[in-house]
Each structure stands twice: as structure tokens, then as C-alpha cells.
Amino acid sequence: MKSTPAEAAIRYATAMNTRPVNLLDHDEAGLRAFFASIGEQPFRAQQILKWVYHQGVMDFAAMTNLGVDLRRRLQELAVIEPPRVLREQVSLDGTTKWLMGLCDGGFGGGNAVETVFIPEPNRGTLCISSQVGCALNCSFCSTGAQGFSRNLTTGEIIGQVWQAARALGHERNGARRITNVVLMGMGEPLLNFDAVVPALSLLRDDLGYGLAAKRVTLSTAGLVPGIDRLRDTIDVALAVSLHAPDDALRETLVPLNRKYPIRELMRACADYVSDKHKRSVTFEYTLIDGVNDHPEQARALVKLLRRMPSKLNLIPFNPFPGTRYRCSPEARIREFQAIVMAGGLIATVRRTRGEDIDAACGQLVGQVLDRTRRSRMVRETGLTTIAGTLADGASR
Ligand code: SAH
């Protein structure tokens, strides 16, 4: 049976007892280092980037400006391997969701994550995942309920964009073009910092997807040291999942709040926007019936955010099987929005998209190979307080 170039490279590398390099795991700096390490000119990095991200080409044989010898070497030493699309679902409103199989378990049998494209009149937003599952166990999120399996590699993160762009026809100007990318899918991106940053850099780089800083958004549940590190590392937009104006309530929704309470989170956000390139933070607030949607809580939110250059996204809670929470009634949502706006905040209600295909916030589940690893992740990341609060988080 004839094998694919990727399989041949893997066989070669196994025989040599090394792993082939997945070129999607590297941003420009990483690729330059790779080419230098094999005795090639670093500018080869630019040629590869253009083939992969501008032309959508993955096959070394088609990269005609690389020369026959270099193409042959690359076929032996490297692969270009994105996740595989296992399933595509298109909603009546045009929202598209893909289940992406990861290469552990030989694609399909192993881990998988979800990626969602949300078309709007003037933009197309791609929502990508950064981990398989999530360790944070926010009580209103179905990804949290499924546990944590592992971090994605850079190639698996940027490969979601590559696959989505291909499925959408690699159109650079059409209506379905990807204009914005948000790390709001499965996982906590700041707990996978080292793989996420090169993916952000490929999204920003002109040789990659060339997106402006304000069009690449990282969303975090509030990992304070990660926010500080991100500020010093790369220019992207920051979104913070707040969901409550006080610590007592926030702890029941986002257990991470026990380790990084609101005061410290606000300090990190203020420092983030003090950088001249980063003008504002988006706060996400999922409205849950009778939990965090009271007018009193809206007024407390105004007090908390009044002085912060910020926007507020109000997200009606999306139910999922097994949850005890319900979405706030429409009148409550309107009242909440009216109060925060009267208080001077800029607040938008995010309408649910892709409802018929379970593509909304907090509904992404994918497939998790190993559901038992959350506690290990919690130990490794030093988030010991979370482990102790898993039960309370779920019992409220
Ligand atoms: N871990 C990151 C990114 C993933 S969550 C973070 O916490 O920000 C993306 C957004 O969806 C977050 O604001 C999250 O709070 C919200 N969300 C999660 N579950 C939801 C649900 N069931 N309904 C509405 N929004 C939800």
C-alpha cells in the first residue's frame, strides 16, 4: 500500500528514533531556528509560511520555490499536520461547527476539539479551542463538566484555523472570510501559554493570517499571572470571563476565583490596558436566572468596572444536558443591560448563534480520551485550591 508523505516521514523518524517536526508547531522565529538547525537558510521560513497560510498548501512537493533537494529533505524530516475534520455541521443561521480529531490515537479514535465559525454581516469570527477539555470546572460550562485531558500543541491550535479556512474555501475577500479569531472555545488558553503564544503570533504575522491585534482575542477565566505575562509577550485583545461582581458569588461560578480574587484580577486588567497598544478589556458576563442577574448585581458591576476602559458582553446562559441553571428571562436581560448602560458601561447582549447545532458558548464538548487527568493538571499548575472547590462549585 502506498503511504502518504506524512506517514513516510513518521516511519523515517521512527526508524531514526526521532519525531518528525510538525512545521505548524512553529511561528516564524521557530521556523527560522528549525531551518538553521538543519543547515538551511533561515529565509526558508518565510517561504514555508506563505505556502501554508497564504496558499493553503501542505504538500512539500508542490512548494516549487524550495528546490528539489530541500523538498526531499523536508519530506524526510518534517510534516505539516493539522487536526483532521471528523464532522462538519452547518446551522440554519450559517454558523458552522467542526469536530477536529487530534493525531493521538491515530485521528478519530482519540481526542477531539470543536471549532466554530460565526458569520455576521461585516465580519466572520472563528472560535478556536486551546485544550482538550478544561481543568477549571466553571459550574455553568459544559466543557468544564467533561474534565481535562491535555493541552493542544501550537499546530493543533493554528491547524484549526487552517482547516476552517480551507472548509470556507480559503476566501480572502468573500463573505465567509475569517476576519476575527477568538480563543473562546474549549480550554483555558493561559494554562497552555507556551503553545498558545506562537499560535497568536501566526495569527498576527503578515506571513501568517495577518490579523490586527484587535481582531485576535484571548479569553481567560482570570489567571492573573498569565494576564501579566501575556501583556509583556504579544499584542492581542483580552477578554475576561467575570460573571459576578463579588468574590462570594464568583467563587461558586468560577472556582479559580479562590486563587485569584476579583481585586487582583482588576489590578491585572488595569495593568493590561495601561500598555499603550492595549486599549480596553472585554468582560464576559453570562446571565443566569436568579444567580447573577439581579438589579443589585448590575449596580455592583457598574461600581466595579466604572473606571476600567472596558466593554461588557452580556451572554444569555446556554443550557446543556444536566445543568441546574436556566437562562435569565428576556425582561431581566434588558433590565440588567439598561442599568449597566445607565451607569456608563458599554454593554452588548450577545445573541446565541448556532443553537440548532449546539455551537454556542459553553456548549462545546468534543471528545475527551481521558477524563481522569483533571486532578493531575490541577496539581501540576499549582491550582490546589480549585481541587478543593470542585464539589462546592457544583453544588450551588
Ligand atoms: N476559559 C476561557 C475561554 C473559554 S469560555 C474563559 O473562561 O474565558 C468562553 C466563554 O463562554 C466564557 O466567557 C465562558 O464563561 C462562556 N460560557 C461558558 N459556558 C457558558 C454557557 N453555558 N452559557 C453561556 N456562556 C458560557
| Dihedral angle of Cα 212, 163, 371, 142, to the nearest 10 degrees | 60
Distance CA 134, CA 148 (A): 5
Please give the model's pTM, rounded to 2 decimal places: 0.88
pLDDT beyond 60 at 384: no
User: From the candidates 127, 141, 327, 361, which is the catalytic residue?
Assistant: 361
The rounded Å distance from CA 242 to ligand 1 centre is: 10
User: Measured from the CB, is residue 241 less than 6 Å from ligand 1?
Assistant: yes
Q: Give the tens place of pLDDT for each residue, 303-334.
A: 999 999 999 999 999 998 889 999 999 999 99
Name the residue with the closest Cα to ligand 1, atom 11: 361
At 109, which amino acid appears?
G
pLDDT beyond 50 at 387: no
CATH architecture of the domain covering 5-79: Orthogonal Bundle (1.10)
User: From the candidates 28, 81, 114, 251, which is the catalytic residue?
Assistant: 114
Determine contact, residues 227/184, Cβ cutoff 8 Å. no
Ligand 1, closest atom to CA 221? 7
Q: Domain residues of the chain, as ranges?
A: 5-79, 84-394
Ligand 1, closest atom to CA 187? 1
Ligand 1, closest atom to CA 325? 22
Examine the residue annotation and report whether 296 is marked as an active-site residue of this protein: no
Distance CA 249, CA 190 (A): 23
User: Measured from the CB, is residue 282 less than 6 Å from ligand 1?
Assistant: no
Examine the residue annotation and report whether 138 is marked as an active-site residue of this protein: no
Q: Give the tens place of pLDDT for each residue, 67-123.
A: 999 999 999 999 999 999 999 999 998 899 999 999 775 555 578 999 999 999 889
The rounded Å distance from CA 150 to ligand 1 centre is: 19
Ligand 1, closest atom to CA 313? 13
Mutate to test the pocket of ligand 1, among 286, 291, 292, 312 (most ligand atoms within 8 A of CB): 286
Q: Give the tens place of pLDDT for each residue, 184-235.
A: 999 999 999 999 999 999 999 999 999 999 999 999 999 999 999 999 999 9
pLDDT of residue 105: 53
Q: Is 140 helix (H, G, I), strand (E, B) or coil?
A: coil
pLDDT beyond 60 at 49: yes
Ligand 1, closest atom to CA 239? 8
Name the residue with the closest Cα to ligand 1, atom 19: 362
Cell of 345: 458601561
pLDDT beyond 90 at 247: yes
User: Measured from the CB, is residue 208 less than 6 Å from ligand 1?
Assistant: no
User: Measured from the CB, is residue 318 less than 6 Å from ligand 1?
Assistant: yes
Mutate to test the pocket of ligand 1, among 269, 361, 377, 381 (most ligand atoms within 8 A of CB): 361
User: Mean pLDDT, the chain, as a whole number?
Assistant: 87
**Element (H or E) spanning 36, and its range?**
helix 28-37
CATH number attached to the domain at 84-394: 3.20.20.70
Name the residue with the closest Cα to ligand 1, atom 3: 184
pLDDT of residue 128: 97
Distance CA 310, CA 300 (A): 16
Determine contact, residues 268/395, Cβ cutoff 8 Å. no
Determine contact, residues 129/195, Cβ cutoff 8 Å. no
pLDDT of residue 358: 74
DSSP type of residue 131: E
Q: Give the tens place of pLDDT for each residue, 132-178.
A: 999 999 999 988 888 899 999 999 999 999 999 999 986 555 555 89
pLDDT of residue 390: 23
The rounded Å distance from CA 220 to ligand 1 centre is: 9
Q: Is 132 helix (H, G, I), strand (E, B) or coil?
A: strand
User: Measured from the CB, is residue 192 less than 6 Å from ligand 1?
Assistant: no
Distance (Å) of CA 76 to CA 7, 40, 57: 10, 15, 18
Sign of CA dihedral 191, 192, 193, 196: negative
